[in-house]
Structure 1
Amino acid sequence: MNGLSVRLFGIPSVHRSGRETKRIPAKSLELFCFLLVHHRRRYSRELLSDFLWPDETGTLSKRYLRQALWKLNAVLNPASDSMGKELVDNSSPGWLQINSHAVAWTDVREFDQAYSGLLTNVGERLSDSDGRALENAVGLYRGDLLAGWPQEWCLPERTRFEQAYLMMLEQLVAWCRVRQLYLKGVGYGETALRYDPARESTHRQLMGLHHEVGNRGEAVRQFHLCADVLSREFGVRPSAQTRELYEQILRDEAPPTRTVAMPLVRREPEAVPALHARLDEIQASLQRLMALFDLDPRNVG
């Protein structure tokens, strides 16, 4: 693959024209990964410098940000590079955003696009091409986002991507069930439970799949696995919906077909970093000022 390709699921890696680059300074890499994860947003230089160097003075943290940007371009986008594109777009004074045209491919961007396309649909209604695209997307998830990184800002983002991944897997289970791809559907469901053993909706899907292929004993076993993990982890019983399905399986009745709803994962988790909240406040104030004085945003900064 020509240009830059970046994987952020699992251990992060950066490849340039197919060869891995390992000489990126730690803070430059953190800045790069932060902007890639939040590729849809712009950030002020002041907020980024305070966020990445919270223990330094404002003047020093801003200098460190300039140095991190310079080192990032020096390693990944040297002057001899024919691409001739800055990795970080700083065309708006005082603001930074990843330049998506300078980075050929990232797994998080592909994953995000696949998930966004799924929000208006559900598993049973996915076309064959949509299902295959979803299969490709879940294949990108090689592990936790930026696995092993202790930075606090990574934690809510890991949760967001993991929840999106689990929902994608559930949609694939439903897609496989409609197409009678039962073994593949069971595989996707079991993968989801390895990440979240107490995911009751996935247990129900597997109960239904096992029962449909005539394996009532396995369907019953799946219910008891669900009941055990819910009791052990949360001290609760399975929901009425799960118990109802279990009773139908015991009576060997076919449960009614139910569309698997696709609840929306918030783009910004509840535990949003303070950076985001402060940025939103500043952006709102800036917009009000521009409207009041009829200012051109390019002249503000």
Structure 2
Amino acid sequence: MFWDGPGIELLRGFEATDAGGRVLLPVSAQHLLAFLALHDDGVQRASVAERLWPDSTQCRAAANLRAALYHARHAASAIPIETAGRWMRLSPAVRVDLREARRSARQVVAGLSQLPASCDELVDDLAAELLPGWEEEWLSLERERWDQLRLYALESLARQLCASERYLAALQTALAAIAIDPVRETAHRVVVEVHLAEGNIASALRSYQRYRSFLQRELNVAPSPKMTGLVRNLLRM
């Protein structure tokens, strides 16, 4: 989607943009903008400093925050950071791709009234990792939140596509969820359900057996009765 205003990209990698151009920032300013972009309602300055520089003293962390804020404002003046007393936040005028992806994911989970003609862009956004390559501790919980939301959204979308007999799109969507969490059973069940809906009995059975072997090898457990029930009659053939 084209956007000519200030923006922060968090999915697939960090990028700050304005008027279609990329803004180059030092690492500390990138971390500050990313952290604020993850907290829509703002956060206390002391909390920002503590989270971004957990190994520093309170005084040093505060100094690091002031320096990062200066660099962010100097290099990316078009991406406003609002401060009021002890609080700070990214201006609501800044587009954040993760916020839009979260909104779309929640709409999907709630049930779309009408499926778009193509779900490729939506699936691509839901399949995108949050700040890949970043190893900061403060990202762990945010990644978990995003992963759980996008998994539920992808699985829900796959079922909606299957119900609309858009089987290829349903399979690709379910496989995108499996790529995020190969152990999670729900998306594997969707794959089996899609094959059965198409009448591809052999494919359904093969998908089940592949997942069963994977679980046995990795965790020494079996699929749930709910999944086994999908192919119980096939296993007896």
Whether these two folds match at TM > 0.5 is yes
Cα deviation, residue 60, structure 1: 3.1
Which runs of 5 or more structure 2 residues have no equivalent in the other structure? Answer: none
Q: What is aligned with 1:12? A: 14
Post-superposition CA distance 1:127-183 (Å, at most 9, x none) = 225x56976443224632111111111122222212222211111111111111011
Distance across 1 between alignment mates of 2:235 and 2:68 = 63
Distance across 2 between alignment mates of 1:152 and 1:56 = 14
1:32 has 2:33 as partner: yes
Distance across 2 between alignment mates of 1:16 and 1:110 = 17
Post-superposition CA distance 1:57-111 (Å, at most 9, x none) = 333322221221121111111xxx6xxxx722212x111122112x1x2210101
1:88 has 2:90 as partner: no
Cα deviation, residue 188, structure 1: 1.0
Distance across 2 between alignment mates of 1:243 and 1:56 = 52
- Determine which of 92, 95, 104 is the counterpart of 1:100: 92
Distance 1:172 1:141, change over 3 A: closer
Matches within 5 A, 1:1-301: 1-22=3-24, 24-40=25-41, 42-77=42-77, 87-91=80-84, 93-101=85-93, 103=94, 105-119=95-109, 121-122=110-111, 126-129=112-115, 136-141=121-126, 143-250=128-235
Cα deviation, residue 28, structure 1: 1.3
Contact 1:3 1:16 in 2 (8 A): yes
After TM superposition, the structure 1 stretch with the greater mean CA deviation from structure 2, 173-182 or 191-200, is 191-200
| TM-score, normalised with respect to structure 1 | 0.71
Distance across 1 between alignment mates of 2:20 and 2:148 = 30
Distance 1:211 1:50, change over 3 A: closer
| AA aligned opposite 1:128 | Q
Distance across 2 between alignment mates of 1:142 and 1:191 = 6
Post-superposition CA distance 1:12-31 (Å, at most 9, x none) = 11121111122x11111101
Distance across 2 between alignment mates of 1:178 and 1:134 = 15
Distance 1:96 1:232, change over 3 A: same
3-state SS, counterpart of residue 29 of structure 2: helix
Distance 1:195 1:249, change over 3 A: same
3-state SS, counterpart of residue 14 of structure 1: strand
Distance 1:39 1:135, change over 3 A: farther
Distance 1:250 1:97, change over 3 A: same
3-state SS, counterpart of residue 2 of structure 1: coil
Cα deviation, residue 227, structure 1: 0.5
Q: CA RMSD in A?
A: 2.2
User: How many residue pairs align between the two structures?
Assistant: 235
Cα deviation, residue 118, structure 1: 3.9
Distance across 2 between alignment mates of 1:246 and 1:147 = 37
Post-superposition CA distance 1:226-262 (Å, at most 9, x none) = 111111221111111111111144579xxxxxxxxxx
| AA aligned opposite 2:32 | L
Q: What is aligned with 1:269? A: none
Distance across 1 between alignment mates of 2:4 and 2:230 = 51
| AA aligned opposite 1:60 | R
